[in-house]
């Protein structure tokens, strides 16, 4: 077996990249030609004599891509892999002299996931939904995902113990327990999915909540109370990323009202709305949806505390995988296909539905158009981040095509002609002439997500930044361009060199370690002993379990 873990970051020699046009929006550089120097895994002011020289004449240079929301590791991802063996057969990922083999499809194996992200110029990706009890397994899988740096968000919005603390008004203990849970799982951020809905639904099918102010049957508190408590706790702890929220009512007609109320709950505190496209639908519940991109964009535009990722739908095969178990249950019969719901004790639910989005189906075409409306009507590219909610809206491999749809009006108009006409006519997409610039693409795929995540050394190319760099041939066909970078540098190592993988590399785990009052452990322990299938002492992930990792500090006061 080939060695997967190569030499640590920084062992590669210095590099000077010359003659390329640099797009580094965080440092105000929009296409200027200047030298970019790398040494010991970092961007530096100048490289010593004898540094490797890369001539990037005619090429475009950006920081490595940062995916703020994808599903690439953990229990539900494995369930989706097991459910679709045909995907593995259809799309093998052969090894090379430098890289290991894997399988592809919409839910690639760990190895294929890392290499395929790198092959698009992405160097960081965040797994967006892991139940705490799945943390250990997730960390092992992330360690096995080559090249990229990575982290995960821990699911806490249907956690029975935390909801009990809230119901009893024990807000300080709640905050300590959130910090303990994040710490004990080595997570990067807190994640809420259908807050307050899954746990009651697991006991009784019609017990999911349908309104942000509806009190759930099990705990006697509402989604809004849960959201407010998390926004508060994360704000007080100054965690680098705000609560990452999958709102209630995903996919339902008229759900934009819930999305607006969720954002309003945050007041002026920071909040991230995940895959906002899936939460921007007008119309009456139970009836055909329409676009509500307009009121959603207006709210986001006017509130700088809000960031979101789009969750663009792309036509073709996808896999719906979500901790929103009631949603997966609702979608199970749409495809007359296999599906699965799974329970995660005391913490979350989960559902998987293999899916495909089709141009000629009204709802799919509408979803596609709404995502593009959101991108094209947004006033601040820093806060509307590129994602397909991989693999829910489509594979991350469709990012280059999505970038072309945003940058190339003529191409977009041709694509619009192929999709359901009535759906398009119920949006303003056909009237939107905006074309994203290269700098705006660098913002929505690099600088913006890095800033929203509080990753100060990523998403830019200033001195001290991680030397995560992508060099693309400047090609008028932006899909072709973003599909095949000429060079990808990860932590100072030229992993892709003249379009070819030239070495393997293990990225780091990015996580946070908020402080907590140690006495909270005594409060949590009895609950475990009463209800969990594992011993409390076997639950927390110890530091000794970590491989190469970096603790990201809290935001400065
Ligand atoms: Zn997601």
3-state helix, strand, coil in the chain (%, to 5): 35, 20, 40
* Angle (CA) 403 404 410, round 5°: 145
Ligand 1 centroid, distance to 28 Cα (angstroms): 31
Ligand 1 centroid, distance to 245 Cα (angstroms): 10
Amino acid 3: pLDDT: 38
* Sequential DSSP letters for 396-446: GGGHHHHHHHHH-HHHHHHHHHTS-HHHHHTSSGGG------HHHHHIIII
Ligand 1 centroid, distance to 314 Cα (angstroms): 15
Amino acid 230: pLDDT: 98
Ligand 1 centroid, distance to 3 Cα (angstroms): 32
Which two three-digit tokens encode residue 451?
């800033």
* Residue 86 host element (H or E): helix 85-90
Q: Does residue 127 fall inside a structural domain?
A: yes
Ligand 1 centroid, distance to 210 Cα (angstroms): 19
pLDDT per residue of the chain (557 residues) written in tens, 0 to 9: 333 444 344 457 999 999 999 999 999 999 999 999 999 999 999 999 999 999 999 999 999 999 999 999 999 999 999 999 998 899 999 999 999 999 999 999 999 999 999 999 999 999 999 999 999 999 999 999 999 999 999 999 999 999 999 999 999 999 999 999 999 999 999 999 999 998 888 887 778 889 999 998 888 999 999 999 999 999 999 999 999 999 999 999 999 999 999 999 999 999 999 999 999 999 999 899 999 999 999 999 999 999 999 999 999 999 999 888 888 888 887 767 899 898 888 888 889 999 999 999 999 999 999 999 999 999 999 999 999 999 999 999 999 999 999 999 999 999 999 999 999 999 999 999 999 999 999 999 999 999 999 999 999 999 999 999 999 999 999 999 999 999 999 999 999 999 999 999 999 999 999 999 999 999 999 999 999 998 999 999 998 889 999 999 999 88
Decide: helix, strand or coil at residue 322: strand
Ligand 1 centroid, distance to 44 Cα (angstroms): 35
Ligand 1 centroid, distance to 69 Cα (angstroms): 6
Q: CB count, 10 Å around CB of 360?
A: 12
Ligand 1 centroid, distance to 538 Cα (angstroms): 28
Ligand 1 centroid, distance to 388 Cα (angstroms): 9
Ligand 1 centroid, distance to 70 Cα (angstroms): 6
Q: Give the span between the Cα atoms of 35 and 43, in whole angstroms.
A: 11
Q: Does residue 157 fall inside a structural domain?
A: yes
Query: Edge-to-edge strands of the sheet including 42-44?
Result: 42-44, 36-39, 15-18, 52-55
Q: Give the span between the Cα atoms of 214 and 65, in whole angstroms.
A: 39
Ligand 1 centroid, distance to 309 Cα (angstroms): 10
Ligand 1 centroid, distance to 311 Cα (angstroms): 8
Amino acid 333: pLDDT: 77
* Angle (CA) 382 510 37, round 5°: 70
CB 419 within 8 A of CB 359: yes
Ligand 1 centroid, distance to 310 Cα (angstroms): 10
Ligand 1 centroid, distance to 540 Cα (angstroms): 24
Amino acid 112: pLDDT: 98
Q: Among residues 314, 446, 335, which one has the least CA distance to residue 391?
A: 314
* Residue 192 host element (H or E): strand 189-193
Ligand 1 centroid, distance to 250 Cα (angstroms): 11
CB 308 within 8 A of CB 277: no
Q: Which residue has the tokens 């992930």?
A: 541
Ligand 1 centroid, distance to 131 Cα (angstroms): 13
Q: Does residue 512 fall inside a structural domain?
A: no
Q: What is the CATH number of the domain that holds 417?
A: 3.20.20.140
Which two three-digit tokens encode residue 132?
């705490």
Q: Find the distance separating the first CA and the last CA of the chain, reported in whole Å.
A: 48
Which two three-digit tokens encode residue 107?
């839910």
Decide: helix, strand or coil at residue 87: helix
Residue 554 CB burial class (10 angstroms; 0-12, 13-18, ≥19): middle
Q: Does residue 27 fall inside a structural domain?
A: no
Ligand 1 centroid, distance to 246 Cα (angstroms): 8
Q: Helices 293-302 and 256-265: crossing angle, nearest 10°?
A: 10
Ligand 1 centroid, distance to 324 Cα (angstroms): 10
Q: Among residues 496, 511, 498, which one has the least CA distance to residue 547?
A: 511
CB 234 within 8 A of CB 228: no
Ligand 1 centroid, distance to 509 Cα (angstroms): 19
Q: Give the span between the Cα atoms of 215 and 363, in whole angstroms.
A: 30
Ligand 1 centroid, distance to 231 Cα (angstroms): 19
Q: Does residue 488 fall inside a structural domain?
A: no
Ligand 1 centroid, distance to 72 Cα (angstroms): 10
Ligand 1 centroid, distance to 487 Cα (angstroms): 29
Amino acid 2: pLDDT: 37
Ligand 1 centroid, distance to 128 Cα (angstroms): 6
Ligand 1 centroid, distance to 493 Cα (angstroms): 30
As beta bridge partners, residue 21 has 33, 60
Which two three-digit tokens encode residue 373?
């409306």
Ligand 1 centroid, distance to 436 Cα (angstroms): 25
Looking at the structure of the chain, the number of domains it has is 1
Q: Which residue has the tokens 């989706």?
A: 80
Ligand 1 centroid, distance to 71 Cα (angstroms): 6
Q: Among residues 278, 343, 283, 334, which one has the least CA distance to residue 309?
A: 278
Q: Does residue 46 fall inside a structural domain?
A: no
Ligand 1 centroid, distance to 458 Cα (angstroms): 22
63-95 as b/e, with b when 16 or more CB fall inside 10 Å?
bbbbbbbbbbbbbbbbbbbebbeebbeeeebeb
Q: Does residue 480 fall inside a structural domain?
A: no
Ligand 1 centroid, distance to 375 Cα (angstroms): 18
CB 308 within 8 A of CB 128: no
Amino acid 335: pLDDT: 67
Containing structural domain, residue 160: 65-459
Ligand 1 centroid, distance to 162 Cα (angstroms): 22
Ligand 1 centroid, distance to 513 Cα (angstroms): 23
Ligand 1 centroid, distance to 203 Cα (angstroms): 24
Q: Does residue 400 fall inside a structural domain?
A: yes
Q: Among residues 208, 205, 176, 245, which one has the least CA distance to residue 523?
A: 176
């Amino acid at each position: 077996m080939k060695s997967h873990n190569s030499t640590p970051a920084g062992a590669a020699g210095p590099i000077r990249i010359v003659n390329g046009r640099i797009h580094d929006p965080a440092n105000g550089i929009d296409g200027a030609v200047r030298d970019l120097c790398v040494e010991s895994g970092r961007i530096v002011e100048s490289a010593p004599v004898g540094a490797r020289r890369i001539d990037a004449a005619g090429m475009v240079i950006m920081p490595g891509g940062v995916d703020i929301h994808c599903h690439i590791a953990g229990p539900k991802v494995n369930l989706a892999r097991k459910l679709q063996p045909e995907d593995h057969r259809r799309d093998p990922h052969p090894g090379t002299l430098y890289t290991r083999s894997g399988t592809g499809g919409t839910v690639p194996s760990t190895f294929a996931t890392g290499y395929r992200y790198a092959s698009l110029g992405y160097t960081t990706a965040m797994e967006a939904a892991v139940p705490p009890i799945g943390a250990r397994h997730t960390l092992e899988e992330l360690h096995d995902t080559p090249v990229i740096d990575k982290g995960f968000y821990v699911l806490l919005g249907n956690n029975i113990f935390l909801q009990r603390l809230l119901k009893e008004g024990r807000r300080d203990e709640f905050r300590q327990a959130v910090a303990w849970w994040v710490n004990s799982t080595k997570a990067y951020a807190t994640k809420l999915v259908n807050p307050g809905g899954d746990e009651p639904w697991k006991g009784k099918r019609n017990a999911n909540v349908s309104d942000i102010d509806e009190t759930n049957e099990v705990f006697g508190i509402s989604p809004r109370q849960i959201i407010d408590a998390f926004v508060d706790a994360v704000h007080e702890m100054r965690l680098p990323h705000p609560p990452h929220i999958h709102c209630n009512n995903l996919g339902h007609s008229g759900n934009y009202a819930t999305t607006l109320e969720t954002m309003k709950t945050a007041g002026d505190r920071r909040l991230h709305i995940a895959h906002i496209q899936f939460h921007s639908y007008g119309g009456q519940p139970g009836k055909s949806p329409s676009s509500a991109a307009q009121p959603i964009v207006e709210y986001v535009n006017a509130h700088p505390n809000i960031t979101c990722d789009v969750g663009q739908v792309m036509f073709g095969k996808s896999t719906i995988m979500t901790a929103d178990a009631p949603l997966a249950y609702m979608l199970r019969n749409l495809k007359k296909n296999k599906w699965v719901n799974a329970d995660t004790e005391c913490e979350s639910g989960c559902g998987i539905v293999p899916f495909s989005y089709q141009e000629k189906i009204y709802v799919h075409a509408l979803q596609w158009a709404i995502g593009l409306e959101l991108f094209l009507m947004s006033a601040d590219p820093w806060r509307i981040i590129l994602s397909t909610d991989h693999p829910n809206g489509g594979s991350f491999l469709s990012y280059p095509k999505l970038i072309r749809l945003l940058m190339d009006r003529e191409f977009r108009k041709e694509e619009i002609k192929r999709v359901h006409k009535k759906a398009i006519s119920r949006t303003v997409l056909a009237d939107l002439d905006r074309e994203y610039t290269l700098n705006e693409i660098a913002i929505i795929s690099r600088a913006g997500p890095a800033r929203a995540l509080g990753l100060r050394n990523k998403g830019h190319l200033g001195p001290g930044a991680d030397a995560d760099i992508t060099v693309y041939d400047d090609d008028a066909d932006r899909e072709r361009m973003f599909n095949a970078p000429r060079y990808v540098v990860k932590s100072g190592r030229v992993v892709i060199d003249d379009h070819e993988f030239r070495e393997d590399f293990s990225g780091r785990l990015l996580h946070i370690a908020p402080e907590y009052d140690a006495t909270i452990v005594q409060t949590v322990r009895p609950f475990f002993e009463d209800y969990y299938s594992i011993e409390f002492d076997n639950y927390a992930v110890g530091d000794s379990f970590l491989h190469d990792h970096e603790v990201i500090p809290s935001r400065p006061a």
